Structure 1
Amino acid sequence: MNKLLYQVDDRPPLPTTILLAAQHMLAALGGIIAVPLVIGAVLKLPADQVVALVNASLMGSGVITIIQCKGLGPLGIRLPCVMGTGFSFVGAALAIGHEHGVAGILGSTLAGSVIMIVGSFFMPQIRKLFPHTVTAVVVTMIGLSLIPVAVDWAAGGKGAADYADPVNLGIALFVLVTVVGVVQFGKGIVSAAAVVIGVAAGYLVCLAMGLVDFGPVQKAATFALPQPLQYGMTFPPSGIFAMGVAYMVAIVETTGTLMALGSATNTKVGGRQLCRGVLGDGVGSACVAMLGGPPVSTFAQNVGLVSLTGVASRHVVALTGAFLLLAGLFPVLGAIVVTIPQVVLGGACLMMFAMILAAGAQMLASVEHSKRNGLIIAVSLGCGLAVSARPELLARMPAIVHEIFGSGISTGAIVASVLNLMLPGREKEALEDESNDGEAVQAATPHPVLEKKARAV
């Protein structure tokens, strides 16, 4: 059990809540705006359209974050879950955009979200494919896949002219040491706000060295209302198919992330909880598409923040959603956060992502030592790392293969699940898993929509 400063349903004092919510926003904002920026750059969209994509992503992520944390009828897992635009959709979005433009991306996003919405009805069955051994592999792969991202940020940004410059590495190391020191020696709220303190210290150093670019603040509008359907929508069959495959991969990745979040918050996540979470992802993506933004998914980096700080309050993260919504309505607010240099975020995120990896290692250590489990862990981690470290392995494969196995997380999860089904001894392990954590009872609980209808009858 993780020692938590604030439990899932705790409500910290308002000043504390604001500080901790801002910390989650810092962890998520870079990832949220990165996807629309990549889409805009690759498709060579006009600057005003890129800004509109960013604003829609922020607003949509904020609203769905609030719903996931607070719950809305059958929607929302009611855990500290931060939503954001998912990189698992980028490949499909770019392929669609090159041929059908932004209208094709949004139409395919809306139509493809049906896959995730329908898939949520089957989460009790999907949950059975994730016994403890498989879950441990997925959580470990999430950490292993995120750490290279933090390393690139710490080095100055992938492809940057000053990549791995000693100055960049020195600032990132300073932030990392600051975060570690505050977590280790700080008490109460000081320890819980370690990431904010570390980022603030790194930001001041960069400010003193003249490394902060205030250009985004000068260019950003003060206020901007959403413009739903401003691009229109088209529904190309090929685009819907590609996005549908991406949604199926997202279901696997979201399942792993939500179960990792359950582990970090000391919450048992069974079939019913996964129903709510995945349904929130699917409906959220459909809503964001109507606003004019790319699909959203559950962010794994904030799981590491929960593990690092011990703050598991869903009410704190709900306020993060409100901050994201405001950043979409007032782009200048988001632009201020964007001025934080990547090297500063890299130093802080390296610690957070490593916490996810550490959680996965702890889960692997608790797996029963047997030849069967050893094979599942070794082969699935090996395959996941293979495509993460050498993505060019899939360069000559059909597009659908690249879409499904392009992520080390999805590759590791799929391989682990298949091996768990194929190798002898699965029934025994499943029974042990059910008796250990009682999740079989939860997995048998009907989908929240069906449960509500049943009560009505």
Structure 2
Amino acid sequence: MPTDTSMPSELIYGLHDRPAPMTSMLAALQHVLAAFVGIITPPLIIGSALGLGTHLPYLISMALLVSGIGTFIQARRPFGIGAGMICLQGTSFAFLGAVLSAGFIVKQRGGSPEDILAMIFGVCFFGALVQIVLSRFIGQLQRVITPLVTGIVITLIGVSLIKVGITDLGGGFNAPDFGAPGNLALGAFVLVVIILLNRSTTTWLRLSAIIIGLAVGSLAAWFSGKLVIQPLPDLPLISVPVPFKFGFAFDWTAFLPVALIYLISTLETVGDLTANCMLSRQPISGPSYIERLKGGVLGDGVSCMLAATFSAFPNTTFAQNNGVIQLTGVASRYVGLYIGVVLMLLGLLPMIGAVLQQIPKPVLGGATLVMFGSVAAAGVRILAQSPLDRRNMLIIATSFGVGLGVAAQPQLLHRMPQLVQNLFDSAITSGGVTALIMCLLLPEPKHSGEVSTQRLENEPV
């Protein structure tokens, strides 16, 4: 993540430059292409697992709409809310486990899809307050929110979600033909297409690799009979946002895991914002840096609260869009305003969600496998920036051991109280909390801060 100021990577447009409208729109479209699949995939996964098929088009529309509003706020920074940079807001994969857990609690009680959504959005609404409050104390939390903890959390998020991607590649949860050679071949085909496009020297192909992979994979599925196009439902031309459309419910058992993920998401956001500052040639220390972090985390919290209000799942600052800044040399925050407007327009058209709902699971799995693997790789990259001394290696080893151990043996906590199970039955929460506690309890060598600073200043992106 750190950038070398001597690199020939001078920005074409700096943070406060105003590119021409056409240039801004072209740069904005590249960001939208890079993030589009990431925004709509969590609603697709959650809707499939919880049986919310009839509501999926609306949920996808709201995910895009709220992502646009959040991105606009982050770039515009009204009343100090937002980082004042290109911080594309998208549906967070980190919340999948906690959101699904809340949904299954209601489903096991015999609740309807509307009851499930009322509970999910109710606990997510109050959970957003955790991130809003934490944003006011970012400066004081620097001892805990370190690159080491951030790297561990992001790596665990990626590794945990790989299971979701590989399940879809096989055909989806409880699919009668799970693991069929046709499913595996289709998912592998999409995976290969995305890899090859990512190796292209053409920037547009690299940025559009996942979109093209999904399109080509869906076409192959249609030819092979895996995709049977269903008639589109009778949907309105414009999807009108309705606050708390499905009602509002709350349960402490469902809330606590979600609140903990908001804490973890804050750690992830700080890492992404720091990388964005480096790429945008902004300070990564001092008062202005802390103020930018406070505004960015606050923007995330406000975006999440808006998401819960308008039936979208929690948002976060997307890391993959930092790569777009580096590739294009465009860091202008005014481009963020264009991105926000484009996403809002896409969200107002529910027919998009209805079409995307028909993407076969193996095709979706082939694409998400790359995305989730990229998240894990980003976490490893952050870990590489920390000095790997004996203390840090011990924290990494223990956090991964606890987190991945719990994920590998789900029955480990089955004799514990239900609240403990809901809080720590995922690699992200158990491993993330382990990393936080160990960083607080184990004394840091006096020289480590100097080493870390040198690496931040000298290592290339």
* TM-score w.r.t. length of structure 2: 0.78
- Equivalent residues of 2:275, 2:322 under 8 A apart: no
Secondary structure of 1:298's match?
strand
Q: CA deviation at 1:150?
A: 1.8
Kept in 2, the 8 Å contact 1:139–1:257? The answer is no
**Range with bigger deviation, 85-94 or 327-336:** 85-94
User: Residue type of the partner of 1:74?
Assistant: G
State whether structure 2 residue 80 is matched by structure 1 residue 62. Answer: no
1:276 match: secondary structure: helix
Contact 1:172–1:344 under 8 Å retained in 2: yes
Q: Which of these residues, 133, 137, 141, is aligned with residue 126 of structure 1?
A: 141
User: Does 2:382 match 1:372?
Assistant: no
* Corresponding residue of 1:287: 306
Task: Tell me which of 45, 56, 62 is aligned to 1:34.
Answer: 45
| 1:204 positional shift | 2.2
8 Å contact 1:250–1:297 — kept in the other structure? no
Match of 1:228 among 243, 256, 269: 243
Distance 2:442 2:184 in 1: 45
Alignment of 1:14 with 2:20, yes or no, is no
State the AA in 2 paired with 1:27.
G
Going from structure 1 to structure 2, the CA distance change for 1:289 and 1:256 (only over 3 Å counts) comes to: closer
Q: Could you tell me which amino acid in structure 2 is paired with residue 342 of structure 1?
A: K
Q: Which residue of 1 aligns with 2:88?
A: 81
Residue of structure 2 in register with 1:345 after alignment:
364
Question: 1:357-396 maps to which residues of 2 (within 5 A)?
Answer: 357-396=376-415
Tell me the alpha carbon deviations over residues 235-258 of structure 1, each in whole angstroms, 9 at most, x when there is no partner. Answer: x5xx25742552233222342254
AA matched with 1:391: P
Displacement of 1:337 after TM fit?
Answer: 2.3
Q: Unaligned regions of 5+ residues in structure 1, if any? A: 439-457
Tell me if 1:246 matches 2:258.
yes
Tell which deviates more after alignment, 411-420 or 58-67.
Answer: 58-67
**Does the aligned pair in 2 maintain the 1:21–1:317 contact within 8 Å?**
no
Contact 1:80–1:316 at 8 Å: present in 2 too?
Answer: no
Shift of the 76–40 alpha-carbon distance from structure 1 to 2, 3 Å rule, reads farther
Quick one: which amino acid aligns to residue 60 of structure 1? V
Aligned residue in 2 for 1:143: 158
For structure 2, the residue ranges without an aligned partner over 5 or more in a row are none
Count of aligned residue pairs for this structure pair: 427
Alignment correspondent of 2:316:
298
| Cα distance in 1 between the residues matched to 2:363 and 2:73 | 30
TM-score, with length taken from structure 1: 0.78
Identify the match of residue 437 of structure 2 among 399, 403, 418: 418
- Alignment-mate amino acid for residue 416 of structure 1: A
- Measure how far apart 1:369 and its partner are: 3.6
Q: Does 1:183 align with 2:195?
A: no
Aligned letter for 2:316?
A: T
Partner AA of 1:198 in structure 2? G
Distance across 1 between alignment mates of 2:196 and 2:181: 22
1:333 equivalenced with 2:343 (yes/no): no
Partner Cα distance (1:289, 1:160) in 2: 30
Q: Is the 8 A contact 1:32 1:58 kept in 2?
A: no
Find the aligned partners of 1:230 and 1:359 in 2 and give their Cα distance.
Answer: 36
Alignment check: 8 A CA contact 1:65 1:321 kept: yes
The answer to whether residue 219 in structure 2 is matched with residue 196 in structure 1 is: no
CA deviation string 1:303-341 (max 9, x = no partner): 357559955867777656545534443211222222222
1:91-102 matches, within 5 Å, as 91-95=101-105, 98=109, 101=115
2:418 corresponds in structure 1 to: 399
The 8 Å contact of residues 34 and 207 in structure 2, kept in 1 or not, is answered as no
**CA RMSD for the aligned pairs?**
3.7
Of 121-130 and 2-11, more deviation after overlay is shown by: 2-11
Measure, in 1, the Cα distance between the counterparts of 2:325 and 2:221. Answer: 25
User: Deviation of residue 180 (structure 1)?
Assistant: 1.8
Deviates more, 1:190-199 or 1:213-222: 213-222
Specify which of 255, 268, 280 is matched with residue 267 of structure 2. Answer: 255
What corresponds to 2:132 in structure 1? Answer: 117
Tell me by how many angstroms 1:262 deviates: 4.0
Match of 1:71 among 77, 80, 93: 77
Whichever residue aligns with residue 441 of structure 2, its letter is M
Residues 107-132 of structure 1 show CA distances to partners (whole Å, capped at 9, x for unaligned) of 44444433332222122223320323
In structure 2, C-alpha distance between the alignment counterparts of 1:309 and 1:347, rounded to whole Å: 26
Partner residue, 1:206? 221
Q: 1:391 to 1:311 in 2, by over 3 A?
A: farther
Distance 1:8 1:170, change over 3 A: farther
